[in-house]
Amino acid sequence: MAAPPDLDFTNIQGDILEGLPKKYQSFVFFTIADANLFRKGLKVIVPWITTTAQAVADLAIINQHKRQHGESLIKLVGTNISFSHDGLTALNITDDLGDPDFTAGQLKAAPALGDPLTPGSTTDPAWEPAFKATIHGCFNITGESRQTINDRISKLEATLKGAIKTVNRVDGAVRRGAEKGHEHFGFQDGVSQPAVTGFRLPNAGEATTEAGVILLGQPGDAQAKTRPAWAKDSSFLAFRKLRQFVPEFNDFVKKNPIPDPGLTHEQGSEILAARMVGRWPSGAPVERDPAADNLIDANNIDKINEFDYVTGDNPATPQLKCPFTAHLRKMNPRAGFPGLPAVQVRRITRQGIPYGPEVTSHEKQTNTTVQDRGLLFTCYQSTLSLGFVFLQESWANNVDFPNKGDGLDPIIGQGPSRSTTGMDPEKPTATLALPKEPFVKPLGGVYMISPSIAALSGAPFSKPPAPTTAAATPGAAQTPLVAPTSAAA
């Protein structure tokens, strides 16, 4: 058994484990124009960086305010910062972080991730031009209003005047009303986060995830001994701008209902959508609730993740409740193949937010996407090749995972073989042809590292790297920071 983590929640950036509380969020990507000016400005900025301890405290304040004042909002701003490999180089930080995917960058990796390519090219992804430009760093800003975010961005830019140049900004917002907490396909998001040891206790059905799966230098990080000391409590961030084709998705499920004589056409379509995702719109898992949505399960932190794809299943009909290729099951097979130990080292924390407008009446009528909308996807892990990269390439896109010929993840799977299986519970081997164009298309992304507060406060970020390796930051907290939660956004 690995040693307990020495997590210091004042040293870990707040978006990594807890997630920055938000109604709105902006990612400001920049290049470093003057490294010395940047270091001077960073010393001023570090106190503004939201830690995990502060993120948890902010969430508690929000919850207390809701109990006393309902849905009115209080002014809160969150700020995190991350750097690409090019950004580290611009700051003359040349340590080997032990992650080839981070070093190479996401642009180079795009073809292997299955991202659509520009016509006639085998290497150039069909990304937005801004994500093909050099990116050194990113400010991740959250708040209860766009104005609060803009005020923080203005403050950052004034402090770093002459030191950075903004190359791109993307904005997201939590959907409103009944769609609050749901992504654009209409499903509750963020209900299955890893129970990181030392941060929170697991709810029913959850297995613990070693801290080093998410944080560099902690127990469970296979390369902890070879990382530079300053990297401890940092985490690799994978950012993706993912466009969602909502009218096309809705049209597809309407035209391909589960053919059960006991179901109406509409019910058959609803079940197909749920089986493609692995959850109902409320968040209730189809493994627990295969026939219909269940708000009781969805609203119970000890029910929403209480399943493992093995317990209670008939080995002769393993897909009766949930297809092997359901998005949820592809990304986290739990106790199913290849087994819990192999799955738990590939967990990620996800902190994304929707972007873009709601579907218009014209788009609904024509079943054709016109407006740009989707998800600003972010996830954290200690090793990209075990986390995001593996999940996308080896599970979502792999038509032979978990079994030969099972097909793509129908939601995020990328690849020329556009089919999946298991959607009809009575005919699990039947192939369902997916549209030629995926329901989710990557428009760009970047791999970055979110350093610890100690690293940002001194060497190697706020002052030039010392000739010798800096000492590791001592941990402070030995008990979980928060009680068991559903981690729902």
| Residues annotated catalytic, as ranges | 189
Q: What's the helix, strand, coil split of the chain in %, to 5?
A: 30, 20, 55
CB of 396 closer than 8 Å to CB of 414: yes
CB of 197 closer than 8 Å to CB of 208: yes
The residues with which 200 forms a beta bridge, in sequence order, are 482
The 10 Å CB-count burial string (b at 16+, else e) for 123-159 is eebebbeebeeebbbbbbbbbbeeebbeebbeebbeb
Element (H, E) at 274: helix 265-277
- The beta-strand segments (E) located in 275-422 are 349-350, 353-355, 374-381, 419-421
Q: Give one DSSP letter per residue of 54-95, joined into a string.
A: HHHHHHHHHHHHHHHHTT-----EEEEEEE-HHHHHHTT---
The 10 Å CB-count burial string (b at 16+, else e) for 460-480 is bbbeebeeeebebbebebeee
CB of 349 closer than 8 Å to CB of 394: no
Tell me the chain's radius of gyration from C-alpha atoms.
Answer: 22
Query: Rounded CA gap, 354 and 369, in Å?
Result: 16
Query: Rounded CA gap, 265 and 269, in Å?
Result: 6
Cα separations (Å) of 82 from 33, 61, 188, 434, 456?
16, 26, 27, 37, 10
**Residue 116, token pair as written in the block:** 């659509």
Q: Which amino acid is at 120?
A: G
